[in-house]
Amino acid sequence: LFIIGELINGMYASVGKAIRAREASVIQERARAQVAAGAHALDVNCGPASRNPVADMPWLIEVIQQVVSVPLSLDSSNPSVIEAGLKVARSPAIINSTTADPDKLAALIPLAKRYGARLIGLTIDARGIPHNKDQRLQMAAQIVAACAEQEFPIGDVFIDPIVVPVNVSQAQISDILEAIREFRIISDPAPHVVVGLSNVSQGTAVRSLINRTFLTMAIACGLDAAILDPLDTELMNELITAELLLNKQIYCDSFLNAYRKG
């Protein structure tokens, strides 16, 4: 599983404060800790309260790049913020995200091509969050078709089915799992499939248990990337075990340590 650490996000109080005060050490500590815990990339989000994300995003990227060398996922719904990040991010970066809206695709696919970035495509459009599997598949197909048309490599596309909280849209979870399975056969080569994991447990009382159970189910359905909290040890243990069961590392009694040592 390609693990994208979720902890550098201005919605966390300490991160939001560090961004406003330009306290690099708070951000850098989170960057180092996530990479040490197994993150292969780091999501970077200025947060909903940022007053100047076009300045905050490049600052975040520069201070993170001082301490770690993993790819960064530039997380914003505003293409100007993403472009400001791409100008300073080391390649390959990840654009998080485009939607299935034609104007978003028209803006972000060329940006991804110009900067050699990978692209996360959310199965959502101006009509809002999809209500069923078929709508998710339709929007995934739109994203993949737009990328193919612009000769953007499908192997650099990550489709995100938009995970909803189980306490809000419980009936949709099995639809989302089925969509993950079908995204993987939508084209050849297949796009990757990513989820923003913690959404599934938003507002619930036992978040870590719900997160790791859903992640394991999604991995069984073909998920190959996730934006998650790599400092959640129980989540990571289960993720590593799911990879072991899918024969993605060789069994030894200390397989958890072996994975963590790389």
What are the residues binding its own copies (CB under 8 A)? 166-167, 170-171, 173-174, 177, 200, 204-206, 209-210, 212-214, 216-221, 237-238, 241-242, 244-247, 250-251, 253-254, 256
The smaller minimum CB distance to its own copies, of residues 14 and 204, is found at 204
Residue 194 CB, nearest distance to its own copies (Å)?
17
Residue 229 CB, nearest distance to its own copies (Å)?
17
The smaller minimum CB distance to its own copies, of residues 163 and 186, is found at 163
The smaller minimum CB distance to its own copies, of residues 231 and 244, is found at 244
The smaller minimum CB distance to its own copies, of residues 125 and 175, is found at 175
Residue 218 CB, nearest distance to its own copies (Å)?
8
Residue 241 CB, nearest distance to its own copies (Å)?
4
The smaller minimum CB distance to its own copies, of residues 30 and 212, is found at 212
Residue 6 CB, nearest distance to its own copies (Å)?
20
Residue 90 CB, nearest distance to its own copies (Å)?
34
The smaller minimum CB distance to its own copies, of residues 46 and 166, is found at 166
Rounded Cα distance, 114 and 129, in Å: 29
